[in-house]
Amino acid sequence: MAASTSKPPFSKILVANRGEIALRVFRTCAERGIGTVAVYSDPDRDALHRLGADEAVHIGGAAAHESYLNVDRIIAAARETGADAIHPGYGFLSERPVIVQACEEAGITFIGPPARAMELMGDKMRARETMTRAGVPVVPGVNELGTSESALAAARDVGFPVMLKAVAGGGGKGMRIVHREADLARAFEASSREAKAAFGDGRMFMERAVMRARHVEIQLMADAHGEVVYLNERDCSVQRRHQKVTEECPSPSGQMTPSVRAAMGEVAVKAARAVGYTGAGTVEFLFEEGPGGPEFFFLEMNTRLQVEHPVTEMTCGRDLVWDQIRVAAGEPLGYSQRDVELRGHAIECRLYAEDPRRFLPAPGAVHKVRWPTGAHIRVDTAVSSGSVVSRHYDPMIAKLTVWGPDRMAAIGRMREALHETVLLGISTNIPFHLRVLDEPDFLAGRYTTRYIDEHPALTEALTLDERDAKAAAAAAVFAARRARVSGARADVGEVGVSAWRRASRWRS
């Protein structure tokens, strides 16, 4: 994309975040002639996002409340560097109205929705009430539960199984499915405690548990001039512990027809208009297939850019960060619904430093990295050779996204891209992703949010061939270290390739 010759809407943008999303925003800013400011904590002194900006400001210690959640220090950093706008990325402060209010008081533009929209949609109970009034379909349930006794009474009315959810929740925290009356009181207390610890708010609500549903979300973009468009859907049903692992666009569901897509999009637009939304946002739905056609229910609205936005960008040709920046500056969106395209198929795999059998974080030093290259392959990452995946933050290493003219072409390209990825020194979930890409139900597009639970072989111990591949990786590291000691030239990535391709070709 060529740099714009017109005057950019902001002179300098501070990204109140870290890792790959900070670098993602910096990239768009650099293309458009906008200066950039990074903020960093003690463990991130040598992080790539710090080095990827024009300026960097230290904002505190390792704990998020001392740094990336510290509004006063972030505002001070913006003032110190002369940044006239703040982009929150995702996570941390991205859905907290306090940062919007602080920006307004400081005369700094917040690149995101109004505080009121955040408040309404961030409180899941109020969001349900608002959506019901707006005529948006919601999952049947009970909005607020004060005690385990009230929860039991509500569950009897709603009907088991039920889903307990935190009013202030997100990322799967505070969520539990309960199948029996005998388990409800204990599950309610545990969910409330978890929500209180994670969000400072232990309030709970309940929904009927839709057990055979997909998680399908609609990407929105809205300006302050009344234009709201939907940019197609993303299917995010492959999840572990209610957290997304693999996303694709369009949904492979046979019941996701153009008319159903349009109906979901129109409902999502209605939801955005109901709260006066501007900027990038995502309306998430439970999508239940049935013999008479699908039903879909409002799940929640994420008032920020989503982790999985690359699959939308690759299938509709938009730079969502640039749209966010323009809209925040008061510019009109510049395109309408009829201009939105759906081209080909894109898949994203989230790569984590974790044990692929139990999905437990496995932080540590990355000895050697080699990312795949080629047409229609995109890598969003803040990890390179010598980087350290910190135990203080989310263990996601990268997002690997590919595009193809159809779904099977995209799956084939993703499989090869994963095979070409080298990450030595840490455990990753690449073996899990490769198993998914070869699994018959996934290949056929037959999956729901229970996909991982219903396919336990995906997380079984490594096979003999896979262990051989890990041994090849260890041998590659040893050979490279020995070569360095002797002064000989060695490239770990190249040393490891042939051994892996003779084995299972799985990277770990």
Write out the catalytic residue numbers: 304
Name residue, tokens 């009829």. 338
Q: Are 27 and 325 in contact (CB under 8 A)?
A: no
**Amino acid letter for position 341:** E
Whether residue 356 contacts residue 410, with contact meaning beta carbons closer than 8 Å, is answered with no
Q: 302 and 281 in contact (C-beta within 8 Å)?
A: yes
Please check whether residue 431 is in contact with residue 466, taking contact to mean a CB–CB distance below 8 angstroms. Answer: yes
Q: Distance between CA 339 and CA 318 in Å, rounded?
A: 11
Q: Per the structure block, which two tokens stand in for 286? A: 């439970």
By CB atoms closer than 10 A (0-12, 13-18, 19+), residue 456 is exposed
User: Cα–Cα distance between 59 and 51 in angstroms, integer?
Assistant: 15
Helix (H) or strand (E) holding 279: strand 279-288
The burial class, CB within 10 Å (0-12 / 13-18 / 19+), for 271 is: buried
Residue 262, C-beta contacts closer than 8 angstroms, at least 6 positions apart: none
Strand-pairing partners, residue 361, are 354
Q: What letter would DSSP give residue 8?
A: P
Question: What sections of 201-331 are H helices per DSSP?
Answer: 258-274, 309-316, 320-328
Among 343, 347, 339, smallest CA distance to 316 is for 343
Contact 364, 276 (CB under 8 A): no
* Rounded CA separation 264/35 (Å): 38
Buried b (16+ CB within 10 A) or exposed e, 98-128: ebbebbeeeebbbbbbbbebbbbbbbbbbbb
Chain length of the chain: 508
Residue found by looking up tokens 């096979």 in the block:
463
| Buried b or exposed e, range 381-395, using 16+ CB within 10 angstroms | bbbebebbbbeebbb
**Count of beta carbons in the 10 Å neighbourhood of residue 396:** 22
Distance in angstroms (rounded) separating the CA atoms of residues 403 and 377: 7
* Residue 403 burial by Cβ neighbours in a 10 Å radius (0-12, 13-18, 19+): buried
Bridge partner list, 38: 15, 56
Q: Residue 416 corresponds to which tokens in the numbers above?
A: 């090869």
Q: Are 222 and 204 in contact (CB under 8 A)?
A: no
